[in-house]
Amino acid sequence: MSSGPDGQEDGQDGQDGQDGVGPQLLENTPKENPSKPSFSPSPAWTAVLTKQARILLTPLSFKKGPGRQGFLPRRILEPKQCGPGENAAEEPGAPTGPAGSQPLSLCPRRSREAPRLSPETAAPAADSPQDEDDSDGDERECQAAAKLKKMTTRKPSCGVKRKKPKEEADETTRRRSMRLLKADPSGVPVPQVPAQPELAADESPGPPPGPLEMVPSNQTAKDEVFGEFLQTWTEMSQPSGSTIQQPSSLESYRASLSGMAVSEETVCKVTKDRIFSLAVHPSESRLLVAAGDRLGQVGLWDLDRGPKAAGVHTFAPHIRAVSCLYFSPANPAHLLSLSYDGTLRCADFSRAVFDEVYRNQELALSSFTFLSDDASSLLVGHWNGGVAVVDRRAPAPVQWADLGPGLVRTVHGHPLHRQYFVAAGARNVSIFDVRCLKPQRNRPLLSLPGHTKSLASAYFSPTTGCRVVTTCADDNLRVFDTSCLGSKAPLVTTVRHNNNTGRWLSRFQAVWDPKQEDCFVVGSLSRPRRIEVFHAAGRLLHSFAHEDWLGSVCSINALHPSRPVLAGGNSSGKVHVFKARGAEP
């Protein structure tokens, strides 16, 4: 037997797991050995070891109190009171708690029915000599619990959002041209070039004022072919009085349309870019076609002159799109052209010059029409909604008038009553009297309602002016009755027609056939490509098509005033001419 610290012999022999203390807590205590003295712990040391085991084996409980964010751990400091036979130390030498308390349980599992004791009840008396170390441990645990509570408690938000710092963009090095940096990789200095004045995107140098010399851009002025071409135009300075007999009925007119065809010889590239306007010369002896394109060029094609390239002459009297072309009704050797650059010029082939008829560099021009049979008085439309009356004989040649809000896309004069004209704008078509025009606040005689989108054109019928055909972006062709200009103009016909040409095609313009009062011609987006002829009642009469020589959309069309000839221009500068089969031009 060994003696403990108090000098008394320990009667416990550690019965190898028979009690609940020795084998579980005192693992390092040597078993009874006759040759070596045994070790017996004192009651104070046993209490300390029991306290540590109770702390390690007690599960944690979580309690969520009011106003707390989340769960806070709470240690159960009180011992469990176990009944007899539940691993309790029943031997006289088993460790016990304070005086008057039940034997301590070392059971790792705590009964759910066991009542929880408050810290005041479970903690031993502070004046007990054997529990002084326990009070220090409890104080440390309370401090640790308070610190943990402070760390886990979430502070309430003040309602102010913190601004996130802006992420700095990664600056990548841009590759720069050595030429733009005015540096040479080989070390040779680059010569400095004097800076040139730059023009804005919407600004361009205007055409020079006054007459321009007629010099073809595809040939030279000294070319013999061009000299012969000018001689031909000079001989046609007077209109011919002979005319062919007009169709007397709709059936005969349809038969004449069926006899017209296109061939390889009647298809040619006349201008460099997209065609905006077309005109067919009224001569009955020669077949001449004029075309204006987007770049301001005017091309003339003589179909009677041998190879196609030899019969085409191109000029550049303008710098922007040529939107309107007409041969003079008094002198067929005069071709008038109007451009977006603000100029209206007259090509006089007898003198080989382009005379300037009207000029307005501040406002872009849209179209023009003749107000007299001798072509001395004209009406010029502007995109801003105004018109200018130009009299080439008067000392003050221009009279300005504002037609109201919107724009003026086309103007066209009445064939019989020259004082009347029709103007097509953004969404309105109106008929005005030139004699009643004022600088401001002009009211129309008649309005042609029903258009829901912008209009491309409006034209009087060629002989009597009793009808007006309009082309609108709402995919409709409309015919109005204008036989009585003193009252309303009723809507006669509406033809459903696809007019959505887009930005790469010129807008469709339905034009009357000068040989037939009640029929008009318009381009088409249908396949195979075609040019359609409609009656004023809305019936489709004929479609000009050819699988080999008409493979594009002909947006702009023009007809000969007396011969069965139709010319159609596309967006690549080509002109397709349909004429009677077997007939010489």
pLDDT at 183: 56
Place of tokens 């003749």: 370
- Cβ-proximal residues to 323 (8 Å cutoff; 6+ apart), any chain: 276, 277, 292, 338, 339, 340, 365, 366, 367
HEC string of 362-401 equals CCCEEEEEECCCCCCEEEEEECCCEEEEEECCCCCCEEEE
pLDDT at 40: 62
Domain span at residue 20? Answer: 1-62+72-81+103-109
Confidence of residue 396 (pLDDT cuts 50, 70, 90): confident
The answer to whether residue 375 sits within a structural domain is yes
pLDDT at 201: 41
Please answer whether residues 62 and 55 qualify as being in contact, where contact means their C-beta atoms are separated by less than 8 angstroms. Answer: no
Q: What is the mean pLDDT of residues 445-470?
A: 95
- Cβ-proximal residues to 449 (8 Å cutoff; 6+ apart), any chain: 428
pLDDT at 111: 42
Residue 361 φ/ψ, nearest 5 degrees: -80, -15
The pTM assigned to this predicted structure is: 0.66
User: Does the N-terminal peptide bond of residue 528 adopt cis geometry, omega within 30 degrees of 0?
Assistant: yes
Structure tokens belonging to residue 541: 């009469």
Alpha-carbon distance of 110 to 104, in angstroms, equals: 12
Q: Which of 325, 332, 330 is nearest to 235 (CA)?
A: 332
The answer to whether residue 39 sits within a structural domain is yes
Q: Which of 415, 426, 408 is nearest to 464 (CA)?
A: 415
Q: What is the mean pLDDT of residues 398-410?
A: 89
Query: Among residues of the chain, what percentage have pLDDT more than 90?
Result: 49
Structure tokens belonging to residue 45: 């040391």
Residues 327-356 pLDDT 10s: 999 988 899 999 999 999 999 988 899 999
In total, how many domains does the chain have? 2
pLDDT at 581: 82
Q: What is the mean pLDDT of residues 54-63?
A: 59
Confidence of residue 231 (pLDDT cuts 50, 70, 90): confident
pLDDT at 70: 45
The single-letter code of the amino acid at 6 is D
pLDDT at 232: 79
- Cβ-proximal residues to 379 (8 Å cutoff; 6+ apart), any chain: 368, 369, 370, 371, 387, 388, 389, 390, 411, 413, 421, 434
Please answer whether residues 87 and 106 qualify as being in contact, where contact means their C-beta atoms are separated by less than 8 angstroms. Answer: yes
Q: What is the mean pLDDT of residues 442-470?
A: 95
Q: How many CB atoms lie within 10 A of CB 254?
A: 16
Structure tokens belonging to residue 376: 């001395």
The answer to whether residue 132 sits within a structural domain is no
The answer to whether residue 27 sits within a structural domain is yes
423 or 236, greater pLDDT:
423
Alpha carbon of 381 to those of 323, 371, 456: distances in Å?
11, 13, 14
Q: Which of 4-13, 215-224, 234-243, 471-480 has the lowest mean pLDDT?
A: 4-13
The answer to whether residue 552 sits within a structural domain is yes
Q: Which of 512, 532, 541 is nearest to 254 (CA)?
A: 541
Average pLDDT value for the chain? 77
Beta bridge partners of 381: 367, 387
Alpha helices in 470-547 (DSSP H): none
Please answer whether residues 450 and 491 qualify as being in contact, where contact means their C-beta atoms are separated by less than 8 angstroms. Answer: yes
Residues 527-540 pLDDT 10s: 999 999 999 999 99
pLDDT at 267: 95
pLDDT at 228: 81
47 or 110, greater pLDDT:
47
Residues 131-169 pLDDT 10s: 445 556 667 777 777 877 777 666 665 555 566 665 555
The answer to whether residue 387 sits within a structural domain is yes
Please answer whether residues 249 and 256 qualify as being in contact, where contact means their C-beta atoms are separated by less than 8 angstroms. Answer: no
Structure tokens belonging to residue 18: 């028979």
User: Is the pLDDT at 107 greater than 70, yes or no?
Assistant: no
Q: What is the mean pLDDT of residues 176-189?
A: 56
User: Is the pLDDT at 239 greater than 80, yes or no?
Assistant: no
What order of strands is seen across the sheet that includes strand 455-460? Answer: 455-460, 467-472, 476-481, 491-496
The answer to whether residue 252 sits within a structural domain is yes
Please answer whether residues 400 and 378 qualify as being in contact, where contact means their C-beta atoms are separated by less than 8 angstroms. Answer: no
Q: Which of 390, 430, 389 is nearest to 407 (CA)?
A: 430
Alpha-carbon distance of 386 to 368, in angstroms, equals: 12
Confidence of residue 57 (pLDDT cuts 50, 70, 90): low
3-class state of residue 9 by DSSP: strand
pLDDT at 199: 37
244 or 522, greater pLDDT:
522
Query: Among residues of the chain, what percentage have pLDDT more than 70?
Result: 64
Highest mean pLDDT among 208-217, 237-246, 295-304, 401-410: 295-304
Q: Which of 110-114, 265-269, 278-282 has the lowest mean pLDDT?
A: 110-114
The answer to whether residue 94 sits within a structural domain is no
Looking up residue 473, the CATH number of its domain turns out to be 2.130.10.10
User: Is the pLDDT at 371 greater than 70, yes or no?
Assistant: yes
